[in-house]
A and B are shown apart, each in its own frame.
Chain A
Amino acid sequence: MKNLIIGIVIVGNFIVQSTALHNFSFLGVLPNTTLIIIIAFAIHFGEKKGAVIGAIAGLIQDIIFGRAIGMNALAYMLTGYFTGMMSQKIIKENIVTPILLTAISTILNACINLFFIYFLGFTTEVLLLFRETIIVEMPYNVVLSIPIYIYITKLINSKIMKQEYY
């Protein structure tokens, strides 16, 4: 049941993110809800599940939109893994945890992605992209991470997640 719910959240988020979320761009930048959700799951379930969830969510995005398949999968997998590792040392109940980890992970995710964007020859304006990510996308992600983290914590603690069948 747990895995099914996680799958539904990931797929549902992907569909909403690629369709409805475009009406909420700020300074031409969209928040990365996939990343925020991966981080929230990684904090609760640890690095192994974080990595798996990240890889699957990234693969979906790569297959539907990607120019090179594997770029998002790799970035999200590593982000999920490292977030899961970092979160072991921090108290999960504190709201500062997702805020801090979202900020760090946004940069980590951007670094991995931009490394490949540069070396696969997609663009040379990597520094500009990185600056835009830090100035606009990171605060946006951080703000959104608070409600999303609270919601996912509620979802994980709810009865439906603890049902054994499936």
Chain B
Amino acid sequence: MAKTAGKDRTIVIISIVSIILVVVMGITSVQRERITTIERWTGNVFAPVQNFVMTVTNTIVGEVASIIDIKNIKTENEMLSQRANQLEKEMVVLRLKRDELEELRGLKHALNYLYESADSNPIVANITAKDPGNWFDTFTVNAGTKHGVVKNSIVLDAKGLVGRVYETGDTWAKVVSIIDNNSSVSFQVLRDARSQGILTGSITNEISGYLFDPLFEIVVGDKLITSGLGLYPEGIIIGEVTEVHTSKSKLLKTITIEPAVNFNRLTKVLIVTPNNIHQLQEE
């Protein structure tokens, strides 16, 4: 008799806790302005430990990988020196362009044209931990409000766009990557800025999307950059088109792209905070 009563009580407690958790879920499912003290402190405790373990792991994995890859190093070396030559040539051309750009920037300043897409001081951060689940692509970095990271800051890698800051703690921040199935990016094709579209992540860790103009001849290998519509500033490399699919019934041209960033090997990121002008526009 007593045993059944105890069991009933457990079921009641489980039900009450479940209802509370569902309510909490509903409240927290939207992106919040500020996180609670409990969350902040849990993060503050876990972040340094995770950072340490992650650093150790990355070092070991890097060492092991380099031992396995020792055969490829020679070919890679040749490839890289070729690439260096090529890049040096490109640099000369780009230097000329830069001078031109600086002239134009000076002109812009003289004309009081107020638009700067992002401030020039990116914050460098290490990835401290990645979401262990298979359904979201979220990770944490070891920079937070103390370092000046704010909600919706843009996260980059040397190669391209990584994602955006979702929530921030004191010394840590939650980042949602662009391969997450809940994030979307507006893009434009690098060789023709007029052709734009929207990309969304998916569960299979590839990004797919569609073009606004289905008549535009997009080909495999086309490079895509951010278009400046929405959160991300213009001109950040997203990736390369790997597949083009035209569906006649929907009058849509869907594309699949390979991101420029290798998300599996990502250990360091750059965080760019939206500048004051951007915030003023929002208010």
User: Could you tell me the distance between the alpha carbons of A121 and B182 in the complex, rounded to whole angstroms?
Assistant: 9
Q: Mark A41-68, 1 if CB is under 8 A from B, else 0.
A: 0000001100100010000110111111
Task: Collect the chain A residues with CB atoms within 8 Å of residue B21's CB.
Answer: 70, 73-74, 77
In the complex, the answer to whether B203 meets A74 with C-beta atoms within 8 Å is no
Q: Could you tell me the distance between the alpha carbons of A116 and B21 in the complex, rounded to whole angstroms?
A: 12
B61 x A23 contact (CB < 8 A): yes
Is B181 within 8 A of A125, CB to CB?
yes
| Of the residues B132, B138, B203, contact of A30 by C-beta under 8 Å | B132
Q: How far is the CB of A12 from chain B (nearest CB, A)?
A: 10
A20 near B: Cβ within 8 Å? yes
Say yes or no: B25 contacts A68, CB within 8 Å. yes
Q: Are B43 and A77 in contact (CB under 8 A)?
A: no
Interface band, chain B: 35 or more
Chain B contacts for A78, CB-based, 8 A: 14, 18
Q: Is the CB of B24 within 8 A of A19?
A: no
Contacts A20-B53, A77-B17: A61 and B135 contacting too (C-beta < 8 A)? no
CB distance from B78 to the nearest CB of A (A): 29
Q: Does B205 contact A (CB under 8 A)?
A: yes
Find out whether the CB atom of A77 lies under 8 angstroms from the CB atom of B61: no
Structural contact, B25 and A16, CB atoms closer than 8 A: no
Judge whether A18 and B61 touch: CB under 8 Å: no
Contact B203 A125 (CB under 8 A): yes
- The 8 A CB mask of A17-38 against B (1 = contact, 0 = none) is 1111111010011101110000
Is the Cβ of B203 less than 8 Å from the Cβ of A69?
no
The yes or no answer to A151 lying at the interface (CB within 8 A) is no
* Residue in A15, A65, A117 whose Cβ sees the most chain B Cβ within 10 Å: A65
CB distance from A16 to the nearest CB of B (A): 7
Contact A69 B24 (CB under 8 A): yes
Is A113 in contact with chain B by the CB < 8 A criterion? Answer: yes
Docked CA distance A30–B57 (Å): 17
User: B residues within 8 A CB of A34?
Assistant: 132
Measured between beta carbons, the chain A residues less than 8 angstroms from B182 are 67, 122-123
**Distance in angstroms between the alpha carbons of A166 and B17 in the assembled complex:** 27
Give the contacting residue for A65; candidates B57, B61, B134, B138; CB below 8 A.
B138
Taken together as a complex, chains A and B put the C-alpha atoms of A138 and B238 apart, in Å, by: 33
**B82 interface hit (Cβ, 8 Å):** no
Q: 0/1 per residue, B3-34, Cβ < 8 Å to A?
A: 00000001000100110011011101100000
Q: Which 3 A-B pairs have the closest CB atoms?
A: A68-B29, A18-B129, A70-B21
* Residue contacts A-B, CB under 8 angstroms, 14 given: A14-B46, A17-B132, A18-B50, A19-B128, A20-B54, A28-B134, A51-B10, A64-B174, A65-B133, A65-B136, A65-B139, A72-B133, A77-B18, A120-B25
Residues of chain B whose beta carbon lies under 8 Å from any beta carbon of chain A: 10, 14, 17-18, 21-22, 24-26, 28-29, 38-39, 42-43, 46, 49-50, 53-54, 57, 61, 128-136, 138-140, 166, 174, 176, 181-182, 202-205, 264
